[in-house]
Amino acid sequence: MLGTTWSYRHPVKNKFKYKAYISYSHCDERWAKWLHRALESYRVPRKLVATKAGAGTVPARIRPVFRDRDDLSSASDLGGTVKQALQDSENMIVVCSPDAAASFWVNEEIKSFAGLGREKQIFCIIVDGQPPGPGVASTCFPNALAEVGLQEPLAADVRKWADGKHLSKLKLVSGMLGLPLDQLRRRDLQKRQRIWTLAAVASVAVLAVLILAITARIAAQQRRDSGESLVSYKLNQLRTILNVTDDPEDLTRLGQWNPQELSELIESAGSGENSLINLALDLRKQGSDLYERDALDEAMQKFQESWALLAETYRRDRDNQAVLFELGQAEYYIGQIHTDRADLDKAEEAFMSYAEITRRLILLQPENAEWVLEMAYALTNLGTLEERADDSDPERSLQLMQSALEYNQIALVLDPQNEYYKSELGQSHAFLADAQRDVCDLEGALLSRQKNVSLEQDMLAQDGENPRKIEKLAWALSGYSVVQRELGLVDEAIVSLEKVLQLLEPILLQNPDNKRDVRYVLLRKHRLAMLRALNGDLEQATKVMDALDEEWQAYFQDGIKDDLEAIEHYTNYLIDRASIAQMTGDPEMAERLFKDSMALSIETLEEFPGNRDAGNRLMLAVFRLWEMKQELPPESILKKLPYYYSTSGSIRACFDASMAARKAIMFGVTDRAVELTNYLIERGYAEVTFARVCKKYSLCPER
């Protein structure tokens, strides 16, 4: 999960991982593959979906179906993977043939599955050999069928002179779902008749559609195979990216709970199969509501209790993948609280557990696109955390964000029609762009932001009135404008920000009390005004900034307290407003506003030592005030300026390097200022205010 987007997922009610297990001799692998595809691609007629049948509520699809297994030819018993798959399967389908009848392993699998008490859920499909008849012994049924009580099992016969492929498939579906075969055949026939009717009306067009459908099915299978191969490759890479110190499935934290408190918590869930899970999810929702109200301590208590209940549930049933998934989600919520508290070490532990649990789930089901996308979220959280660290590794953050994007792309390979996965892809490009900016790769960041904008435009074109999609396009354009400004593309950045406001202001008019939207619009208005000032339109920029001052005062008078993001935006506004006052010849106003911004930056640094953005804001205000007065601020302020060097001695982002160059100028370290300026110019950094500094202090190389 990402950021502060809160979603509530409920456990899967079906306790089985697989709808069916296909038992077959490897000599019949061709038939097993056909059966696997036929069942998983089959869509139950819509009028039957969600109705009650002998096997419970009728699902829309018959999947997943387990087919692949390790080669057992040299083994002495069924492998752990096969045993687990048998336990996880609701039904068994035996591909019957003389080879299957002679197969030791097919017989062993039948006996093992029947030993679970599911002999009535064994179904057969004949692909070769002789079924039993009067005075005729079977040559296709494994002996194990009779041993478990199925002396003359009813079987579908796939051969053309018998049932054929289609009817054989319907017979198996009918048996597994507990539906009368006649009912299923009637509904299926109605569906096929609709197709035949269309064919009679427009045979040529339908023929083209059928050709496309066949091609699409082949392409879809290729995509699934390709997606699963990509997943396997990426999972191997994850071992070098993730730094897991504790096994999240050990549940060691559960032992740290007070036994009496844990017992009371469990008892409060009541009785029932899903009582613990239901209470855990309810506590999570309570925690999220508290989180939205900034009640972090109370929210953490709810999230910890939710985790404990899920951990206890998983301790009791370690085969339940739905619970393991929710346990990973619980780690995310806990990590988010640690992040907001600036306890980054604990946040990393939680997010790492979240990622590791997701990795293990994908190992079990590499075709599960939802879990693949979950890994994209997990890696994005770790990448964002790395960016926030006092001495972060920007290359590692870039690696995490690149991997997150790739997992999002793989999810789309597995499920190319999923609109939600498409919508998330734009956000993945946005996070990658920020990571690229963090290593001063502006060309890469520009390309990523262009993809971000393009994807969001495509999504909005499909639903032009959707407020969420409008906001996402606005955010994409806003991020795009930041990179454009750093590349010196002022006119282009102005156009992007104008579009942002055109998108957001109508939404704000509909909901003027939404503080987040108010804050977001205020920030973009002042950024746009500053760009216009840099383009020479000082009069209009000044009018906008004066009006924004009143809007900011109204924002804070509404009782907003401890709003760190609002304070950050307001501090940026003060610095830009002071800069415009300096341009228009009002040094007194400029000095006052620079000092106000410095005070706010220092307050933030005292509460969050090492905060990178606050340090850069302080540096910029100090430098511009120094330019005005030609005197350094007190030592108490100088001590709070960023050091700007990592343990490797390098500067990471272009903006950081530009601030480090200003600091070097201010302290008279010209060689260092020149070095940093050359670094920035080589990477295409041409932000207007720094370009002016470069020329003013003769740092720009001659061209």
For 552-586, write each residue's pLDDT tens digit. 988 887 655 567 788 899 999 999 999 999 999 99
Q: At a CB cut-off of 8 Å and minimum separation 6, what does 611 contact?
A: 604, 605
Sign of torsion over alpha carbons 667, 668, 674, 675: negative
Average pLDDT over residues 164-168: 84
Phi, psi torsion values for 178, nearest 5 degrees? 75, 30
pLDDT of residue 650: 57
Under the banding of pLDDT at 50, 70 and 90, the label for residue 73 is very low
pLDDT greater than 70 at residue 164: yes
pLDDT of residue 176: 93
C-beta neighbour count of 80 within 10 angstroms: 9
Q: At a CB cut-off of 8 Å and minimum separation 6, what does 352 contact?
A: 242, 243, 244, 245, 382
Q: How distant, in Å, are the alpha carbons of 71, 93, 96, 112 from that of 26?
A: 9, 15, 12, 19
Lowest mean pLDDT among 54-58, 182-186, 450-454: 182-186
d(CA 341, CA 322): 29
d(CA 96, CA 636): 84
Q: What is the 3-state secondary structure (H, E, C) of 151-218?
A: CCCCEEECCCCCCHHHHHHHHHHHHHHCCCHHHHHHHHHHHHHHHHHHHHHCHHHHHHHHHHHHHHHH
pLDDT of residue 649: 47
pLDDT greater than 80 at residue 394: yes
Round to the nearest angstrom and report the end-to-end CA distance of the chain. 49
Average pLDDT over residues 65-74: 60
Q: How distant, in Å, are the alpha carbons of 163, 175, 201, 210 from that of 195?
A: 22, 26, 10, 10
pLDDT of residue 415: 87
- How does DSSP classify residue 249? T
Phi, psi torsion values for 14, nearest 5 degrees? -70, 125
pLDDT greater than 90 at residue 303: yes
Long-range pairs of 253-259 with CB within 8 A, sequence gap ≥ 24: 253/307, 253/308, 253/311, 254/308, 254/311, 254/312, 254/315, 257/308
pLDDT of residue 560: 52
pLDDT greater than 80 at residue 332: yes
Average pLDDT over residues 106-117: 95
Lowest mean pLDDT among 200-214, 279-293, 364-378: 200-214
Average pLDDT over residues 635-656: 77
Of 646 and 157, more confident:
157
pLDDT of residue 9: 27
pLDDT per residue as tens digits for the range 458-483: 999 988 888 889 999 999 999 999 99
Under the banding of pLDDT at 50, 70 and 90, the label for residue 69 is low
Tokens coding 523: 């920030």
pLDDT of residue 211: 32
Q: What percent of the chain has pLDDT over 70?
A: 84
User: For domain 18-192, is the CATH number 3.40.50.1220?
Assistant: no
Strand partners, 95: 125
pLDDT greater than 80 at residue 530: yes
Tokens coding 169: 């498939």
Of 166 and 105, more confident:
105
- Type and span of the H or E element at 359: helix 344-364
pLDDT of residue 62: 92
pLDDT greater than 60 at residue 436: yes
Lowest mean pLDDT among 204-213, 303-312, 407-416, 673-682: 204-213
Under the banding of pLDDT at 50, 70 and 90, the label for residue 594 is very high
pLDDT of residue 1: 35
Q: What percent of the chain has pLDDT over 90?
A: 49
Q: Where are the alpha helices (DSSP H) in 630-696?
A: 635-638, 654-666, 670-682, 688-696
pLDDT greater than 70 at residue 275: yes
Under the banding of pLDDT at 50, 70 and 90, the label for residue 235 is low
pLDDT of residue 190: 59
pLDDT of residue 687: 94
Range of 222-226, 311-315, 448-452 with top mean pLDDT = 448-452
pLDDT greater than 50 at residue 134: yes
d(CA 289, CA 281): 13
pLDDT of residue 647: 42
Q: At a CB cut-off of 8 Å and minimum separation 6, what does 600 contact?
A: 567, 570, 571, 574
Of 671 and 189, more confident:
671
d(CA 10, CA 554): 41
Lowest mean pLDDT among 8-22, 472-486, 504-518, 631-645: 8-22
d(CA 327, CA 254): 12
Kindly tell me the number of DSSP H helices and DSSP E strands found in the chain: 28, 7
Q: Are 470 and 507 in contact (CB under 8 A)?
A: yes
Under the banding of pLDDT at 50, 70 and 90, the label for residue 363 is confident
Lowest mean pLDDT among 233-237, 262-266, 656-660, 688-692: 233-237
Instruction: State the span(s) of the chain assigned CATH 3.40.50.10140.
Output: 18-192
pLDDT of residue 255: 84
The three-point CA angle 556-562-566 to 5° equals: 55
C-beta neighbour count of 305 within 10 angstroms: 22
Lowest mean pLDDT among 448-462, 493-507, 605-619: 605-619
pLDDT of residue 419: 85
Under the banding of pLDDT at 50, 70 and 90, the label for residue 548 is very high
Q: At a CB cut-off of 8 Å and minimum separation 6, what does 253 contact?
A: 307, 308, 311
Average pLDDT over residues 290-313: 90
d(CA 356, CA 249): 10
Q: How distant, in Å, are the alpha carbons of 7, 78, 658 from that of 379?
A: 18, 36, 29
- Type and span of the H or E element at 262: helix 259-268
For the entire predicted model, the pTM comes to: 0.64
Q: Are 28 and 100 in contact (CB under 8 A)?
A: yes
Under the banding of pLDDT at 50, 70 and 90, the label for residue 12 is very low
C-beta neighbour count of 177 within 10 angstroms: 22
As a whole number, the mean pLDDT across the chain is 84
